[in-house]
Amino acid sequence: MGLDKRVVITGVGAIASNGNNIEEFWNSLQNGVSGIGRITAFDPSEYRCQIAGEVKGFDVDEYIGKKEARGMDRFCHFAIKASDEAVAMAGISTDEIDPHRIGVLIGSGIGGLQTLEDEARKLFEKGPKRVSPMLIPKMIGDMSSGLVSIRHGFRGPNYTAVSACASGTHAIGEAWWTIKRGDADIMITGGAEAAITPVGIAGFASMRAMSTRNDDPQAASRPFDADRNGFVMAEGSGVLVLESLDSALSRGAEIIAEFIGYGATADASHITAPASDGSGAARAIEMAMNHAGISKDEVTYINAHGTSTPLNDKFETLAIKSVFGDRAYKIPVSSTKSMTGHSLGTAGAWETIVCALAAKNNVVPPTINYTTPDPDCDLDYVPNEAREVDMNVALNINLGFGGHNATGLVKKFK
């Protein structure tokens, strides 16, 4: 197996609360534009948290077709939109590429929650005969990968990753390994999520994990700030095209960046809180660097998980310092969740895209809403304004309920 095979990124696509395509998304992040507002999908008046990062102005009936869209959950709508954009950017066509060498691996932390809620309501109010035969295929988390495969005719490895908020990064990392071990030449990978539903919001709010800054939505997500009081739910999708360098060069594809390393570990400590010493995340960072064959001195930017919860931001800061030592204070660290909100299974996909575009363009997005320093969070969080950086390697960190840690490394392509 050619595990020394290089893997590059040749296409990216995104749909988020602050942009319905990759250009809008990236421009919003560079300019500190938040997409967070009061929830419109349902009346949130009785909920502790009444705000979220909802996708706006996306007409799925027009984009996919009303009949076809009705047979899919919202998270699949987003996956298709982002995948179409990434595939088009990469210039992939099964007329020119063997479809058996193209796979799909799109993660989702929760899957079709709205479908489950809708059909459960029918069951309890009208009986089992009224439950849709589409309940299961619309609800299950692997369906975004399945539908993208069907839409484009990709016949290579096809499955999903479900590891809460680490799902997107796990999906990308496993797609990277799929190419390196020779099972595919191209993988369509990332994450998709649509959990801004009554049950989704109520469940996280009951845990007191979400921000209650309802009167100032755009300032509610404030990673690493001393006044942070919880994360803000988001929805959407981010998709990347990973491709072997040989395949990309043979096609003459434009290369955005190179994906060079992946780490996956477990805290084995608590079902929701990260390890208090940051050790699990630290080991995942070290694993990714070992796979990439790089030293800590080569990392020039970190896109942190940065959820805006009191524990995550403190423990993640500890993890970064434990790996990089004194150099941690010299590396720009930002959380784009300050603008997008936290999209659970999509987070790692959006943030890997950010790392790739940062590497290509030598600019890192800011952490907005950073106004009051926290003594426990004392790194350079790129407060409030984007920064030009002489980029080399960007690190993405994602942590999920259950103690799941996933990291990815992206390098400027040379």
Which residues form the catalytic set?
165, 305, 342
Q: Of 343, 359, 259, which Cα lies nearest the Cα of 306?
A: 343
Q: Which residues contact 313 (CB under 8 A, 6 or more apart)?
A: 223, 224, 228, 304, 306, 307, 374, 376, 377
Residue type for position 225: D
Q: How far apart are the first and last CA of the chain?
A: 24
CB 105 within 8 A of CB 145: yes
CB 88 within 8 A of CB 11: yes
In whole angstroms, what is the distance from residue 96 CA to residue 251 CA?
9
Beta pairing class for 257-266 and 7-15: antiparallel
**214-220 CB contacts, 8 Å cutoff, 24+ apart:** 214/38, 214/49, 214/50, 214/51, 217/34, 217/36, 217/37, 217/38, 217/51, 218/34, 218/36, 218/37, 218/369, 219/369, 220/36, 220/51, 220/308, 220/369
